[in-house]
Amino acid sequence: MWMVPDAKSIVKKTSRTGDEQHVDCDMKIKVLKNEDNSSRGISGSQHSIETVDKAISDLEIKLMAARAERETVMKDTIISEDLKNVELTSRRKYLMVIGINTAFSSRKRRDSVRATWMPQGGKLKQLEEEKGIIIRFIIGHSSTSGGILDKAIEAEERMHGDFLRLQHVEGYLELSAKTKTYFSTAVSLWDAEFYVKVDDDVHVNLATLGMTLTEHRKKPRVYIGCMKSGPVLARKGVKYHEPEYWKFGEVGNKYFRHATGQLDVLHKYANEDVSLGSWFIGLDVEHVDDRRLCCGTPPDCEWKAQAGNICAASFDWKCSGICRSVERIMEVHEQCGEDKNALWTTNFVQTTRSSNSGKIHMREQA
């Protein structure tokens, strides 16, 4: 990430450097004059040398001034162009931003997503420009800034260009903070109708997801996902242990209703899907329970697709994602994926699934 420098500070720095150069040169000129006045008996050749030195000094001053002016103009031009690009980007309205939650150790998962439902290379840029859909793997930084883990991600970013780096230190107990940082960062970067978070072991049908969300685009505030309300786990050592269990009352109480964390469309509890739900309590937000966002893997999603009800997202509940996703996500993609051209032919301006332009077809089997 970079920060746009303040143009005023650049100009001040340049002018200050010029003043320092001018003072140095004045001192040099004064010294030459003093030496000239105190040495009335110098020969003609010495006088000629001093004249040449003075001429050279004058040329050096003019050259440095010209260079400083040129650098200032170039910097001002760069800043102007960058600001123009920021303004153009801020005016662009996107349909949705999808952040794929990932970890340093999940390179194989990311590659499996790239090989199935996430467009690559020029297609990723085309998706942004033509369909208004932005997709990025979201990851923060390691506890050792600039270490081998960060460098590995930087190398992967140079290869694929599909990361959004967050100002966040990675760690399982920091997932709530990461989720909050992602949403706030995404909102600051892109003006979109919907902001989606999904795990890197979930299969997504992008066209179906887009059409699912457009059904709610006229609503001012919505929180969409597969809503649930599980027990608060107070015992240490178990998966999804809640350190702040006492805030939920008596032992055995349940969490407030919230979307499952595998895919959702903003506290500080250990389990980030619960945190997201808690941030909406007290706000005028409509909760939408949509089971197309939490289909099971084959045969569940396959049967639904054959019946014309293509799933937007598929995973295994028992694994909180596709079990052994690196090996199985291609199988899910082939059996439950939408038609390969659906994403490019779907008109997301339409808001009803009954329209012909919004009809999503199942992926053809090989």
| Mean pLDDT value across the chain | 74
For 114-162, how does the pLDDT look when each residue is reduced to its tens digit (9 = 90+)?
999 999 999 999 999 999 999 999 999 998 888 999 999 999 999 999 9
Please check whether residue 366 lies inside any domain of the structure: no
| 85 and 102 inside one domain | no
| 136 and 284 inside one domain | yes
d(CA 141, CA 294): 30
Domain that holds residue 18: 7-36+45-89
114, 160 Cβ separation under 8 angstroms: yes
Task: Report the CATH number that the domain containing residue 174 is assigned in CATH.
Answer: 3.90.550
For 39-89, how does the pLDDT look when each residue is reduced to its tens digit (9 = 90+)?
455 555 666 666 766 677 666 666 666 666 665 556 555 545 545 554 545
213, 205 Cβ separation under 8 angstroms: no
CA dihedral 98, 102, 104, 105 (to 10 degrees): -140
| 259 and 296 inside one domain | yes
| 142 and 214 inside one domain | yes
**What contacts 166, CB < 8 A, 6 or more positions away?**
138, 139, 140, 141, 178, 181, 182, 185
Say how many C-beta atoms besides its own lie within 10 A of residue 59's C-beta.
Answer: 10
Number of domains present in the structure of the chain: 2
259, 226 Cβ separation under 8 angstroms: yes
User: Nearest Cα to 109, choosing from 198, 207, 226, 239?
Assistant: 198
d(CA 321, CA 316): 5
d(CA 294, CA 314): 6
Give mean pLDDT, residues 1-5: 45
Please check whether residue 1 lies inside any domain of the structure: no
161, 124 Cβ separation under 8 angstroms: yes
Please check whether residue 116 lies inside any domain of the structure: yes
| Sign of the CA dihedral running 121, 125, 128, 131 | negative
**Six token digits for residue 55:** 């001429």
Please check whether residue 364 lies inside any domain of the structure: no
d(CA 234, CA 241): 6
| 51 and 193 inside one domain | no
Q: In Å, how far are 71, 131, 279 from 96, measured between CA atoms?
A: 40, 9, 21
| 285 and 165 inside one domain | yes
| 241 and 279 inside one domain | yes
| 233 and 282 inside one domain | yes
Helices (H), 204-318: 206-214, 272-279, 300-306
| 146 and 251 inside one domain | yes
**Six token digits for residue 329:** 């996500």
- For the chain, give the percent of residues with pLDDT over 70: 54
**What contacts 348, CB < 8 A, 6 or more positions away?**
95, 131, 132, 210, 211, 214
Is the pTM higher than 0.75? no
For 272-318, how does the pLDDT look when each residue is reduced to its tens digit (9 = 90+)?
444 454 545 555 667 777 889 989 999 999 999 999 899 999 999 89
Coil, strand, or helix at residue 166? strand
Coil, strand, or helix at residue 93? strand
Question: Residue 231's pLDDT band (boundaries 50, 70, 90)?
Answer: low
Say how many C-beta atoms besides its own lie within 10 A of residue 42's C-beta.
Answer: 13
Amino acid residing at 288: V
| 141 and 212 inside one domain | yes
Is the pLDDT at 221 greater than 90? The verdict is no
d(CA 313, CA 325): 13
**What contacts 13, CB < 8 A, 6 or more positions away?**
none
| 167 and 56 inside one domain | no
Q: Which position has the token pair 């270490």?
A: 147
Q: Is 144 exposed, middle or buried (0-12, 13-18, 19+ CB in 10 A)?
A: exposed
| 74 and 210 inside one domain | no
DSSP for 306-319, please give it.
HTT---SEE-BGGG
Count of positions (residues) in the chain: 366
Coil, strand, or helix at residue 102? coil
Is the pLDDT at 266 greater than 80? The verdict is no
**Six token digits for residue 197:** 């978070």
HSE of 235, CA atoms in CB hemisphere, 13 A: 5
